[in-house]
Structure 1
Amino acid sequence: MEKLLYGVEDRPPGLITTTLLSLQHLLAALGGIIAVPLVFGGALKLPADQIVALVNAALLGSGIVTIIQCRGVGPVGIRLPCVMGTSFAFVGAGVSVGLEHGVPGILGSSLVGSLVMIAGSFFMPVIRRFFPHTVTSVVVTMIGLSLTPVAVDWAAGGVGSGSYGAVGHLAIAGFVLALVIGFVQWGKGVVSASAVVLGIACGYLLCLALGLIDFTQVREAPVFAIPQPLHFGMAFPVSGIVAMSIAFLVTIVETTGTFMALGAATQTPIHGKRLASGMLCDGLGSAFAALMSSPPVSTFAQNVGVVSLTGVASRHVVMLTGVMLLAAGLFPVLGALVVTIPQPVLGGAGLMMFATIISAGIRMLGSCEQSRRSSLIIAVSLGCGLAVTVRPDLLARMPAFVREVFGSGITVGALVAVGLNLLLPGREGQAHEEDEPAGQGVAAAPVAASASAA
């Protein structure tokens, strides 16, 4: 197991170094955070000023909850480098509620639905026992496999783009990918640790020189805006509450898997009490987000890739990312500037980050017990998870409830792995959870430099 460049409690030397390391987490998450309110706004045909209000609230809420998740406040917060943001897991239920009851219905249903996650957090010591090493290894691998198509779509120019797959897009993505590889492999200290942000910066400069950057959004964005609590009001339709509660149940499974992956990447034991603190922050954070007029938040899996790739596991770095998100919510022009980064640039870096999660998952799978039972669990759960990931239309004729629960490959893979582990003879995970080493078989990242080298 390779040594982390910075451990969970380490503080990188100097504000410039810390800012660079924080910025790459921001770049990895910002697009997803902004995309969800934009999807809601487009689906509900909201006027531009209301979409801006949703985006600002999402950024501000994500920033505050990220800070709490990383720093911890009493029993709330997992105290790991965890970026929080609005989640696509709630888009299906949110749009269906919004079309009938508007944004107030989405926010009110989210507020009540968050109680499911808050209540579920108290059962995490029990739920943790359903995630022994084999199951955790499957979930980590599925996170990487599910995110990789996202990076591929970015590299190709974005889903729905008329120039999807154009040679120019792929060339830019390949250029950024090559730079990130070079920075990680041959860079020293802070250069290696900030490989993602340096690769994106070089790709951005290339696109700027080629005239591919559109600054229209920057010119139109307000410089300063304060999100207003209860800006849209709230409504509490029973059907909406049920739909969002189901979405929160699904998110509990995905977030548990993400926390386990984060534990492996940071070489930190993830026991039931720590899971409970993280899940409680997710639930309370979503309730707070609803009051701030933002869609629900959850833990971002893509930022696990940043940790795995760079070997920077410092929660203090990601706390600064939370401050940046908060600032982006108060100064929309900053968020608009980041959004000008072309998708192929993000795709080149994202492919490396998400593939690193797959690599970590494969290492974990390799350290699992070599038995027919273990092989069966791994094969079937990965196969089912990939079926939904690569062929999402597989569930197109299913009832809405089934699509909501099984629409994510991560959730399907996790549920199948947990189910097989319970049903097949010789159940794994009956030993005390604290006895299982964190990140067994996982090397943090191909980072050779030590913390002192920075």
Structure 2
Amino acid sequence: MENKVVDKSQLGLLYDVHDKPGFFTSIILGFQNILTSFGGIVAVPLIIAGIAGCNVVETAFLISAGLLASGITSIIQSAGIGPKKFRIGVGLPTVMGTDFGFVPPANIVINTMGGGLPAYFGATVLGAIFEFILSFFVKPLMKIFTPTVTGTVISLMGMSMMPVAFDWVAGGVGNPNYGDVKYLLVAVIVFVLVLLLNLYGKGMISTAAVLIGIVIGYIICIPMGLVDFSQVAEADWIQLPKILPFGINFELKYVVPFLAGYLVTIIETVGVMETLGQVTGTSMTDEDMVAGVRADAVGSFLSPFIGSGPVQSFSQNVGLIPLTKCASKHIGIVTGLLLIFMSLCPKFSTIISIMPSCVLGGASILMFGTITVSGVKTLLQVELNNRNILIIASALGIGLGVTFRPEVVEQLPGILGSLFGSGISAGTIVALLLSLVLKESPQHTVSEIID
């Protein structure tokens, strides 16, 4: 099945969903996707390794497994596999990876419940089956995802990522030199380069603006003493994947903490799918949404067998599409293949992993900002009566509040703590509930409220 796509010229795209850029262009854009998401792909395996008390070898294997799982699932999500009714994958350019939302339940299973990594992987598989079943109920839920809700969620996704971007700009959380002027200078240089190249560059220069900006920023960091290449020399050249490297435990009690995490994943993935439709000019159907969620479930089911955790569609890479003017799903597939290659070559992946976070931070400001603007474009098509204003204001207020002050909801019990623990999921839930509860009141428009 092929998605219905608008004329690429209407969105200023150089490549639409079904275009196939040339070999070198595809490689460059694929690496650009990897640079954008690499931190997210490797961060969770590092955290899980710390929670489980892994040694250096085990930690390195968890990171490689995360890259491999990301590559395989990105290909599935981007390509879209199977017949229309049972398709797995949305068929739009997407990067998948391990998600931070599963770290709290992982800690409970590994440490509090004492199940270790085998229980963590077993809970991931059982939870993925739960998500796969729920994917069949996504279609009726789409009726309540109105433009008011989706526009708000898309805007919130971009806004809520800004603290992450600025933590990267400042050198990364936990860095003893957080906010050092050197980090800020590099981030500003990258930001300005990406901005100018995207706006004034021609052809491939404009398309690869983010990658060019990141590479130049990386090079600038070397004489500034911000890059340590000793870690590259210590890394192996080749490392083959293994099946069930840490074992697996399927006890049902371990899956309970993960159920809320998978509910949140469904909510956030639907938001990512909506955003993808917006920036690629694709008319998203209910079947597309279901296929996207189903790919998350299948990916999370497969990943533990190669030593990785639950996966989810990344939102940060969606921001690359309007910047690169490339909506080709072929690039998503190429990105997946490159990730698989990198998972087999730890030395090569280490070169990227040692990149100072301030470089990525400078580029991320624009990427996350474009996601926000995509949501605003959707909201501009909504009648801003009193009801819709209240929905938007409430969802953005609560979503951003939880994003900036997550400790407010830390003591919520059980599933409530998981559902409202993320600003994106909290804002989405509020928008959905208010959309269902509040009655239409078209007599109060925004102009009347202002007057």
Both structures adopt the same fold (TM-score exceeding 0.5): yes
Per-residue CA distance 1:362-392 (angstroms, 9 max, x = gap): 2222221121111111011111101101111
Deviation of 1:427 (Å): 9.8
The counterpart of 2:166, out of the listed 111, 135, 152, is 152
Task: Provide the residue aligned with 1:96 in structure 2.
Answer: 108
Task: Provide the residue aligned with 1:318 in structure 2.
Answer: 332
Amino acid at match of 2:214: I
1:43 aligns with 2:43: no
Amino acid at match of 1:167: V
Rounded Cα–Cα distance in structure 2 between residues aligned with 1:146 and 1:370: 23
Task: Provide the residue aligned with 1:86 in structure 2.
Answer: 98
| Preserved CA contact (<8 Å) 1:155 1:345 | yes
Rounded Cα–Cα distance in structure 1 between residues aligned with 2:420 and 2:441: 24
1:65 aligns with 2:73: yes
Rounded Cα–Cα distance in structure 2 between residues aligned with 1:141 and 1:300: 15
Amino acid at match of 1:6: Y
Task: Provide the residue aligned with 1:114 in structure 2.
Answer: 128
| Preserved CA contact (<8 Å) 2:11 2:281 | no
Aligned positions of 1:295-444 closer than 5 A? 295-426=309-440
Cα RMSD, aligned residues only: 1.4
SS for the counterpart of 1:129 is helix
SS for the counterpart of 1:85 is strand
1:54 aligns with 2:62: yes
Rounded Cα–Cα distance in structure 2 between residues aligned with 1:216 and 1:103: 30
Task: Provide the residue aligned with 1:33 in structure 2.
Answer: 41
Rounded Cα–Cα distance in structure 1 between residues aligned with 2:402 and 2:304: 30
Instruction: Report the more deviating stretch, 234-243 or 407-416.
Output: 234-243
1:135 aligns with 2:144: no
Task: Provide the residue aligned with 2:178 in structure 1.
Answer: 164
Deviation of 1:237 (Å): 3.6
Rounded Cα–Cα distance in structure 2 between residues aligned with 1:216 and 1:36: 23
Q: Percent identity?
A: 40
Amino acid at match of 1:394: V
| Preserved CA contact (<8 Å) 1:116 1:249 | no
Aligned positions of 1:152-231 closer than 5 A? 152-231=166-245
Task: Provide the residue aligned with 1:434 in structure 2.
Answer: none
Rounded Cα–Cα distance in structure 2 between residues aligned with 1:424 and 1:308: 34
Q: 5+ residue gaps in structure 2?
A: 1-9, 443-451
Deviation of 1:215 (Å): 1.3
Task: Provide the residue aligned with 1:431 in structure 2.
Answer: none
Aligned positions of 1:193-272 closer than 5 A? 193-272=207-286
Rounded Cα–Cα distance in structure 2 between residues aligned with 1:259 and 1:217: 37
| Preserved CA contact (<8 Å) 1:421 1:427 | no
Amino acid at match of 2:19: D
Per-residue CA distance 1:91-145 (angstroms, 9 max, x = gap): 1111221112110010000000001211111122112112111100011001101
Rounded Cα–Cα distance in structure 2 between residues aligned with 1:127 and 1:191: 42
Rounded Cα–Cα distance in structure 1 between residues aligned with 2:230 and 2:322: 35
Per-residue CA distance 1:284-305 (angstroms, 9 max, x = gap): 1100001111111110000011
Amino acid at match of 1:10: D
Deviation of 1:226 (Å): 1.2
| Preserved CA contact (<8 Å) 2:13 2:322 | no
SS for the counterpart of 2:172 is coil
| Preserved CA contact (<8 Å) 1:175 1:348 | yes
| Preserved CA contact (<8 Å) 1:128 1:271 | no
Task: Provide the residue aligned with 1:5 in structure 2.
Answer: 14
SS for the counterpart of 1:222 is coil
Per-residue CA distance 1:23-82 (angstroms, 9 max, x = gap): 111101111111101001112211111111211111111101111111122011110001
Rounded Cα–Cα distance in structure 2 between residues aligned with 1:239 and 1:410: 28
Which 4+ runs in 1 deviate beyond 3 A? none
| Preserved CA contact (<8 Å) 1:142 1:385 | yes
Per-residue CA distance 1:285-329 (angstroms, 9 max, x = gap): 100001111111110000011113222111101111001110111
Amino acid at match of 1:229: I
Deviation of 1:3 (Å): 2.5
Number of equivalences: 427
Rounded Cα–Cα distance in structure 2 between residues aligned with 1:290 and 1:245: 16
Deviation of 1:400 (Å): 4.5
Amino acid at match of 1:76: I
Rounded Cα–Cα distance in structure 2 between residues aligned with 1:165 and 1:400: 36
| Preserved CA contact (<8 Å) 2:190 2:217 | yes
| Preserved CA contact (<8 Å) 1:224 1:332 | yes
| Preserved CA contact (<8 Å) 2:109 2:119 | yes
1:24 aligns with 2:36: no
Rounded Cα–Cα distance in structure 2 between residues aligned with 1:317 and 1:190: 14
Q: 5+ residue gaps in structure 1?
A: 429-454
SS for the counterpart of 1:209 is coil
Change (3 A) 1:337 1:247: same
Rounded Cα–Cα distance in structure 2 between residues aligned with 1:113 and 1:2: 38
Change (3 A) 1:263 1:427: farther
Amino acid at match of 2:303: A
The counterpart of 1:284, out of the listed 271, 292, 298, is 298
| Preserved CA contact (<8 Å) 2:410 2:421 | no
Deviation of 1:156 (Å): 0.3
Amino acid at match of 2:109: V
